[in-house]
Amino acid sequence: MPRAFFYFLILSIFGTLPSQGAISLNPFHWFDGKSDAETEDLGAIQENLEAEATAALKKGREKLTRNNTFSAKRIFKSIAKKYPTTNAAAEARFLHAGIEIKRKRFVKAHKLLQEIIFQNPAYENFDAVIVAQYDCATALMEGARGRILYIFPGFILKRDSF
């Protein structure tokens, strides 16, 4: 008889409380202190951030198509800083890395591509990121060098120094 009472008690606690929203059956949500309404608010905030980042990305792309790379690069940097985990931030970093590759700044481009890998692993063009990283590393290995003050050729790293 005590066993039946114990089962009844367990079923009554877990059977009625989740429908009232007081306790969740998922143990990962027991101690986070967030209710369902708070998580819905976070979803709305994330959607707003994504919309703002997408609008800024569109503006940066327009600048890039008009060959205004300085303004486009500045917009892409601000998107990556303000909205680091959005999909638009991953695209902004990728476009910024493309600008740096054209300017033969392979180390900086590689760093930007690495940020995509760590902060936006669900980026839809993830394969293109890996290919671009490989191209940067190959160019550096083959002796590509940047410019100092945009005029003088940079230094070549010797392979023994690695």
Q: For the chain, what is the mean pLDDT?
A: 81
Mean pLDDT confidence for 5-30: 60
What residue spans of 22-154 are helical by DSSP H?
36-65, 69-82, 87-102, 106-119, 126-141
Element at 148 (helix H, strand E)? strand 147-148
Q: Do 134 and 104 meet the contact criterion of CB atoms below 8 Å apart?
A: no
Distance from C-alpha of 119 to C-alpha of 86, rounded to nearest angstrom: 9
As a whole number of angstroms, the distance between CA 17 and CA 43 comes to 25
Q: Please, what are the domains in the chain?
A: 38-149 (1.25.40.10)
| Residue 22 pLDDT greater than 50, yes or no | yes
Cα 44 from Cα 50, distance rounded (Å): 10
Cα-based torsion angle of the residue sequence 132, 135, 140, 142 in order, rounded to the nearest 10 degrees: 180
pLDDT in tens, 78-111: 999 999 989 999 999 999 999 999 988 898 999 9
Higher pLDDT, 46 or 50: 50
Q: Specify whether the CB–CB gap between 59 and 21 falls below 8 A.
A: no
CA pseudo-torsion sign 137, 139, 140, 141? positive
- Cα–Cα distances in angstroms (integers) from residue 59 to residues 10, 47, 97, 123, in the given order: 57, 19, 17, 20
- Range in 37-41, 73-77, 95-99, 118-122 with the lowest mean pLDDT: 37-41
**pLDDT over 50 at 120, yes or no:** yes
**Statement: residue 31 has pLDDT above 50:** yes
Q: CA 106 to CA 133: how far, in whole Å?
A: 9
118, 84 in Cβ contact below 8 A?
A: no
